[in-house]
Amino acid sequence: MKSKLNKTLVLDIISFVARFYMAFVWITAGLHKINAYMDTSQSITAYKIFTPEFSGYLATIIGPLEIAGGVLLLLGIFLKQSSKVATVVLILFIIGMGQAWARGLNIECGCFGVQPSSTPTAAHFATSIARDFIFIFLTVWTIYRPFKKWAIHA
């Protein structure tokens, strides 16, 4: 009985960390972009996937969408659904960074705003991609075992 209680407690702690840490990540990423339209647009354009016009459109909406996703997790609204969307977005981010890395582009990922003092390298891409895989693990965890305590509508 005590072993089952301990296991449940550990799983609850992991679920708590997954939900609230990812809320923090999304809100932080969005806040870095919300008042940095030009930097965000240039970061998106640097990937050479979208036209400059479409990159500008994405730069306008990405910050507010990231904040909205973080708030949904924070408040516990549609935990599984918002985590599914987050997983897809993270996969798209990984694809974007992977193709930039494979093409030898020397760009900042722009995930948490532009860091003017950093020089992008292959290690930078590898670290960012590895970090996003950890984020995917946390979002998938929330899909299968959401932390419903303090949730408005799980």
**What are the sequence ranges of the domains in the chain?**
2-144
Residue 136's pLDDT is 98
Q: Which residue shows structure tokens 């290690």?
A: 123
Identify the three-state secondary structure at position 77: strand
> How far, in Å, CA of 23 to CA of 25, rounded?
5
- The separation between the first and the last C-alpha atoms of the chain, rounded to the nearest angstrom, is 28
Distances, alpha carbon 90 to alpha carbons 6, 9, 38, 49, 83, in Å: 32, 28, 22, 16, 10
Residue 154's pLDDT is 61
Residue 7's pLDDT is 87
Amino acid at position 152, single letter: I
* pLDDT in 10s for each residue of the chain, 154 residues: 677 778 889 999 999 999 999 999 999 999 999 989 999 999 999 999 999 999 999 999 999 999 999 999 999 999 999 999 999 999 999 999 999 999 988 888 788 876 665 566 677 888 999 999 999 999 999 999 998 888 887 6
Residue 117's pLDDT is 57
Q: What are phi and psi of 11, to 5 degrees?
A: -65, -40
> How far, in Å, CA of 37 to CA of 52, rounded?
13
Residue 88's pLDDT is 96
